[in-house]
Chain A
Amino acid sequence: MADVAFQQNRIARATSTRRGSSLRYALKRKSTAAFLMTLPLILLIAILVVYPAFYSLHLATLNKSMQKFVGLGNFQFLFRRETFWLVVKQSCIFAITAVIFKALIGFIVAHFVHNIPAKGQRKWRGMLLVPWVIPPAMSTLAWLWLFDPSYSAFNYTLSLFGIGPIPWLGEAGWARFSVILVNIWYGAPFFMIMYLAALKSVPDQLYEAAAIDGANWWQRIWYVTLPMMRNIIAITTLFSLIVTFANFDIVRILTNGGPLDRTHLFATWAFRVGIEGSDIPLGASVSLFMFPILAIAAIFILRDISKRGNEA
């Protein structure tokens, strides 16, 4: 009994002093700790991504020696240059054509891989992803060699059928074709692997139900597969659009913009003007034109992500 009384006394005492709230203090500390843990990330993004992005806006308003503010002068200059409009046109053709073909080929190949017995899939998937794994700078060198004006292995093969020789990189039309071809070769496996992952996530019962409802192969793709994969297709396509639009390696190594600037993209031309031509403000102005397409794609991707977040 005395024990109980003592305890109640202690309880009372504890009650009066308890709102020291060390737990709440700890919580506060927890959010401080969380902030500290993310601080390196925040600094990295702020200093090396966000700041340069705005800095390039500033750069674009300076003259070549970077001592005078010229406002929109660089842009006015660009708009008057034929090469600039050539680059705009080529970037759009390059990105759109390449993405469409990457998406189509990726989708088709993913289907074929999905079609074959499961135990062989790994092997095929492994082979088909190789182009994505090789650093593009290295594999583009191989393509450059395959396209070589005098020793092209393609032209050798075609000559056996009496065709050619084709000026793969020597003539504007063919050069554009080659650059797009290499980009498709490099990027299609990425689509393939994304689609394959999405295909695997479609429950088999849906196909079985569709088959019982009398849907044929094509109807199953149209009414079951595509709707189920819409999200992944959209996000992969947008993502690839950004990357393809900003592509540098392939054109730089394959044609370096030639012949006669007919394959330049924003990135390669910005490099040519900014680094090789030492006109950094003008180069920055050129690369800024990648921004709108990037922003639009990013908005769509974000919308998709937040939509999925709400569903979860």
Chain B
Amino acid sequence: MKSASGSVLYDVPGPRARARNMVLNVIGAVLIAAAGWYVYDKFAQDPKGPQTSQWDPEKWKPFLEGDTWDNFLLPGIEGTLKAAALAAVLAMAFGTLCAVGRMSTIRPVAWIAAAVIEFFRAVPLLIMMIFLWLAPTKLFGADANVFLAVVLALMFYNGAVIAEVIRAGVQALPRGQREAGAAIGLTNAQVMRLILLPQALRAMLPAIVAQLVVLLKDSALGYIIGYAELLRQGNNIATNNGNLVPALLVIAAIFIVMNLALTGLANWIERRTRRRGRTAATVGHADVVPPAAGTGAAL
């Protein structure tokens, strides 16, 4: 079932099934075309107000102009990538630290790490971001730094998720790995650092990169607290040109392209690690990435 997607679920279509699928295809295509036309038409005429059509070329022209890209879109993309890149690096570090802590043999350390992970996983990113944004000013009268608020909030939440991914990776390793390490006289910390973590990180790389896609997308929340990222710049374009809907559509398209590129990178890394996976322990387990770690958390 894994190879040809879903093909085990139904018989190879015979002449009748093929004819039926064809008919369904055609009917479906007609329905989609009709829906598409309906949407197009409704966006062209405004239901109530004096506003012009959303397809008015004037509303789209700004996106073909270099100025708009130089002064809004490119700085916006830079702002988004800057925050996401820094947060990704920090989240990896924070996540590894928390994962190691939670698997520590020293009980209090494990408890504290578990509490930290569960706390940051439970608190909505937006709530964390708003807090980190307002707290410095309200508590110490210090500088409200939206950039840091965005980066730290992304780091805490995604780091906590990555910690659980890494832990799942370590737990999926065969017990023999740990035992062999102990047998040659390595301490617990050495076993973790030299044997378990490297293998777990490699096995879990696809899931980790999937989480980084989430991180990139979530950086758009920085918009709500006024960080000058892509969505906010899109809004500034709309303020300039009165083209809110086109601006939002363009911003969405840019986000989709960026995320697809990152996902493509993730798939490439996955193929590469699979082909390269020399460690016996990883090979067998590379695709046992539990859905809990991969898809479930990736929201």
Q: Specify whether A and B are partners.
A: no
